Structure 1
Amino acid sequence: MDRKIQLSTITRKALMALTGLFLCFFLVIHLLGNLQLLLPAEQAKESFNSYSRLLSGNIFIKIISYVLYTSIIVHCVDALIITLKNKKIAGKYAVDNRAKVSKWYSRNMGVLGTIILIFLVFHFKDFWYQYKFGTLPMDEYGNKDLYTIVIAAYQDWWYVLFYVLSMFALGYHLLHGFFSAARSLGVYHPKYVSWIRIFGTGYSYVIAIGFAIIPIFIYLNR
């Protein structure tokens, strides 16, 4: 029985690692698209709305989007199941020395993940749902004017603050998750460990700071 439980946990961790790595790839593409919002206003509007139309009208992109939605759900469900199992196992021991050997964000992945999940609910509701099912105005080029919706959303200081804090949570989540995925997939080899650490740390900082800069820039300049 214990062996079956162990195999089940290993399988779930591997699946969570694979879905997590796919989401990491998506974050790069998403960040590159969103950085268009930093362009001069008129150029940003045309470029961002055209980009949004491309993402919604391309059949290949639609297929990728379904993979994305599935990956998010599987990643969240697996993370919840593994967290509950770990808590159950930890409860069997009188002494827990994890705080001495692990980073604080590694011990609080559940909290960080919850913050990110709440952010995703707001993010999907305010932008994805509005674009897919809302009645958006059209810009002068015949595209749905998502740019105006985004700019309006980032005029509220509390929304910008929530976004930035969520990106910090994402950064720490990525920092732990990247190394955890490497271990789960068996590529955290001593020969490459320093390179994996450098790449993983750099990636986490770039993604978190890159996304956080966008709403701050819009709030201060648009």
Structure 2
Amino acid sequence: MKQTTLTYKLVMAATGLFLCFFLVIHLLGNLQLLLPASAARTQFNWYSNLLSGNILIKIISYVLYLSLIGHAIYALLITRKNNTANGSSYVYDKRARLSSWNSRNMGILGTIILIFLIIHFKDYWYVYKFGHLPLDAEGNKDLYSIVISSFRQGWYIVIYELSFIALGFHLLHGFFSASRTLGLYHPKYAWVVRALGWVYTLLITFGFMFIPIYIYFNLKAL
């Protein structure tokens, strides 16, 4: 039982760390949207075409899809095992007081993120792969126009921002949990892990949240 749970947690940690790495790359790509409009269109569409056409990138994308699916499945398995193990309640069980809010609500946070991913893949990935997008001046599919159009809609911005707030809480707990699973959360340098976790989470969360807000207030007239 304990060995199985540890295996699940190791898979969660490995897939989670890969997804953390992917988020850095994804954010760096999205930062191109902050360039002047003409340059942003050319650069972002070139970047999107590179991601879809390079064989190495395709292999990484398959790893990404498997990581997303594996992370979600093993999260459900761990939750199920924990619920089974803790089937009986104890009067003096004070674990809820000791644990953080995000650790107690990972299921809710994960559900919000999953719904966002479905919308995100439908609006961008599916449209790019299977839709009929116009081409830009360089002959690349004009995904830039689709992204800018979605970020001009207030309701979409609200969903996007709330989803990344949920992701921020999820990342913070996941970062610390993965470090413990991998044996990196040693008392001597626990403060380093905490600092890295907070810095990473804040940069990723606010980095993604800033882009649509900037576009909404600066490019609405375009």
TM-score (norm 2): 0.96
1:189 positional shift: 1.1
1:136-159 C-alpha deviation (Å, 9 max, x unpaired): 000011000000000111111111
Q: What percent of counterpart residues are identical?
A: 63
1:186 positional shift: 1.1
1:80-134 C-alpha deviation (Å, 9 max, x unpaired): 1111221222222223422211111110001000000000000000001111111
- 1-side partners of 2:216 and 2:96: how far apart? 39
SS in structure 2 at match of 1:92: coil
- 2-side partners of 1:168 and 1:73: how far apart? 21
1:218 positional shift: 1.1
CA RMSD of superposed structures (Å) = 0.8
- Equivalence for 1:212: 209
Counterpart among 112, 115, 120 of residue 117 in structure 2: 120
Counterpart among 158, 164, 168 of residue 167 in structure 1: 164
1:33 positional shift: 0.3
Counterpart among 52, 56, 60 of residue 60 in structure 1: 56
- Equivalence for 1:24: 20
1:54 positional shift: 0.7
- 2-side partners of 1:24 and 1:211: how far apart? 13
- 2-side partners of 1:91 and 1:218: how far apart? 48
TM-score (norm 1): 0.96
- 1-side partners of 2:82 and 2:133: how far apart? 45
SS in structure 2 at match of 1:138: coil
1:191 positional shift: 1.7
**Equivalences, count:** 218
